[in-house]
Amino acid sequence: MTKYRYCLNFLCVLIFTSSIYAQDTDQPTAQPNIMVIPFAKEGQSLRHAYEQSDLVRVAVVKVKEAFDKRGVNTIDFRARMKQMGNTEILQEDQTSDLKDVVIAMSGADIYVEVEASKNNTETGNSVTIIMSVYDAFSGESLANKVANSPKVYTENYEKLAEKAVEREVENLLNTIQEKFTDMIDNGRTIVLNIGIDEDSELSMDYEDEDSFELLSDLIENWVVENAYKSQYRLQGTTQNRMIFDIVKVPLKDENGNNFRVSRFAAQFRKFMRDMDIKAEQIIQGNNLVFTLSKN
Amino acid sequence: MLHEKQIAMIKILKVIPRLSILILLLCSCSTQKKQATDIPFNRTGEVRQTASDRSTMTVVSNYRAETVAKAARYAEMNALENILFKGIPNSVQEQPMVADENEALNKHRTVLTRLIDKGEYEKFVIESYVDYSEKQNQYYFVRQSITFDVNSLRNHLEKEGVIKKFGL
């Protein structure tokens, strides 16, 4: 009986210490990079939109300040643009029915777009700030707030812009945090864009010799099995392209390490190789682009 | 012939009913002071924001209790609980600071009891005063104005592990 008790105690100590060890090896979760930018119309440069309006500059700085207060470092878009420039990615190797232009905000996983406008009325002046938060790669809208300053008889619109941002920015951050909590529970979004090389005879209607299933169905089945909790959305399928605008992946892999999108890409490439199909990949943040061709 | 003692007994017995009536009349005429029942604290939604700036939030909170001091205290606790667990419409804290109240109370009961019930929240109160009060029957209605340092309150909750820091 005493021997049994000693064994049980030893087992308990072993389990306890191994669980502590497991916790210590968990990596801290990689945090998303956030960039605050001014609203720019189509064809208008971000730098121009930022420099031409005092209101927008104040609003952008106030929003950045709110992130700073919460302990979040933001990317300065002007500094980043100096480093890398505006980049356009053209999917040159793929047959495309439409002209696809992807604008990538380099390094940022999430961007906050800030728009400011003045309102002059007989009962006082005010400023309206529109703050919109997006996932940089999936285009998912994470939070949106319209903030109005109080109406005051003043020409100090910058002060009114400050007041407007102060009124709603905490609620904006709280809404973003709700989305982060959802990511922890349901995974984060990646975008999967699969196209056919224009020189290849392959198409999405290609029938597999073994299973007699169409390539598009096989790909979709693979996504069902590999998406986190099988959560995904197929935006559309053509003869030459499949776009999954939402594919959920976990934040951590089975070893407690930050889940790498490159690993997801590697698994897809291996799946394609098993079907004797070559898959060339481009990874940009959470955006995966594959170009398929027959081996 | 009756014994003396028996005569005395008869006299006493005759007096007792008259005495009883007298006592009864005296008791019914005297005014009895009604005691106000102790009101336990129960959160209400009667909290609204009146002002805010970068780091602070001023709210008014209504409450009733047996004394002004108790009502004022309950009003403060009411305001705090609304900020923490419910959110205040049309304010800078529309969402609750603590996302899941039940989970937080289960995992961090000691911290939250110390903060709310034991008065630790006073460290995060910049200003608190009775904006208005009036006696309503046995109770005092109080409208309390409280300015909270929400930034420091959030930092405190993050340090204690009640809420996560911003991010994943």
List, for residues A208-243, the tens digit of each pLDDT value. 888 888 999 999 999 999 999 999 999 999 999 999
Q: Is A148 on the interface with B (CB under 8 A)?
A: no
- Nearest CA among A187, A60, A193, A198 for reference residue A132: A60
Gyration radius of chain B's alpha carbons = 28
Q: Which two tokens stand for residue B81?
A: 């609980």
The b/e string for A34-68 (b: 16+ C-beta within 10 A; e otherwise) is bbbbbbbeeeeebeebbeebebbbbbbebbbbbbe
Pairwise CB contact (< 8 Å): B167 & A184? no
Residues of chain A with C-beta less than 8 angstroms from the C-beta of B99: 178, 181
Confidence of residue A81 (pLDDT cuts 50, 70, 90): low
The nearest CA of chain A is from the CA of B143 a distance in Å of 24
Q: How far does A183 lie from chain B, in Å, by closest CA?
A: 8
Q: What residues of A are in contact with residue B94 (Cβ under 8 Å)?
A: 171, 174
All residues of chain A having their beta carbon less than 8 Å from the beta carbon of residue B150 are 170
pLDDT at B146: 98
Q: Which chain B residues are Cβ-neighbours of A70 within 8 angstroms?
A: 165-166
> How many Å apart are CA A124 and CA A134, to the nearest integer?
33
pLDDT confidence of residue A99:
23
The answer to whether the CB of B96 falls within 8 A of the CB of B114 is no
Tokens, residue B109: 């009961």
Is the CB of residue A190 less than 8 Å from the CB of residue A287? Answer: yes
Token pair for A275: 């079907």
Residues 31-50 in A contacting B (C-alpha not used; CB under 8 Å):
31-32
Residues belonging to chain A: 295
Q: What is the distance between the alpha carbons of residues B134 and B65, in angstroms, rounded to a whole number?
A: 11
> Is A36's pLDDT higher than 70?
yes
The number of beta carbons lying within 10 Å of the beta carbon of residue B123 is: 11
Distance CA A85, CA A105 (A): 10
Query: Which residue from A minimizes the CA distance to B50?
Result: A167
Q: CA-CA distance, B110 to B7, in Å (whole number)?
A: 75
The predicted model scores a pTM of 0.76
DSSP character at residue A153: S
b/e per residue B81-97 (b: at least 16 CB within 10 A)? bbbbbbbbeebbbbbbb
pLDDT tier at A22 (50, 70, 90 boundaries)? very low
Q: What stretch of H or E contains B57?
A: strand B56-65
d(C-alpha A220, C-alpha A233), whole Å: 10
The separation between CA A178 and the C-alpha centre of its own chain, rounded to angstroms, equals 15
Cβ separation A166–B167 shorter than 8 A: no
Q: Using a CB-CB distance cutoff of 8 angstroms, which residues of chain A are in contact with residue B151?
A: 69
Q: Which ipTM was obtained for this model?
A: 0.74
Alpha-helix residue ranges (DSSP H) falling in B3-129: 4-29, 68-81, 101-107, 109-116
* Beta strands in A82-166, from DSSP E residues, in sequence order: 87-89, 102-104, 110-121, 124-135, 141-148
Q: Where do we find the tokens 């005010």?
A: A126
Q: Which chain B residue shows the shortest CA-CA distance from A251?
A: B168
pLDDT at position A86, please? Answer: 43
Min mean pLDDT across A206-220, A228-242, B99-113, B117-131 is at: A206-220
* A175 chain-B contacts, CB cut-off 8 A: 95
CA distance linking residue A136 with residue A113, whole number of Å = 11
For chain A positions 166-185, those within 8 Å of chain B (CB to CB) are: 166-168, 170-171, 173-178, 180-181, 183-184
Q: How much is the average pLDDT of A251-258?
A: 85
Cβ separation of A170 and B151 shorter than 8 Å?
no
Distance from CA of A175 to the nearest CA of B (A): 8
> Which of A20-34, A132-146, A270-284, B115-129 is most confident?
B115-129
How far apart CA A135 and CA A116 sit, in angstroms, is 21
Percent pLDDT > 70 in chain A is 81
Measured in angstroms, the CA of B53 and the nearest CA of chain A are apart by 7
CB contact under 8 A, A167 and B53: no
Most confident of the following: B23-27, B76-80, B133-137: B76-80
Q: What is the pLDDT of residues B31-60, one digit of tens each?
A: 555 566 787 899 999 999 999 988 999 999
Reported residue count of chain B is: 168
Nearest Cα to Cα of residue A236 among A271, A283, A191: A191
A103 vs B12, residue with greater confidence: B12
Q: Are B108 and B43 in contact (CB under 8 A)?
A: no
What mean pLDDT comes out for the span A91-95?
Answer: 38
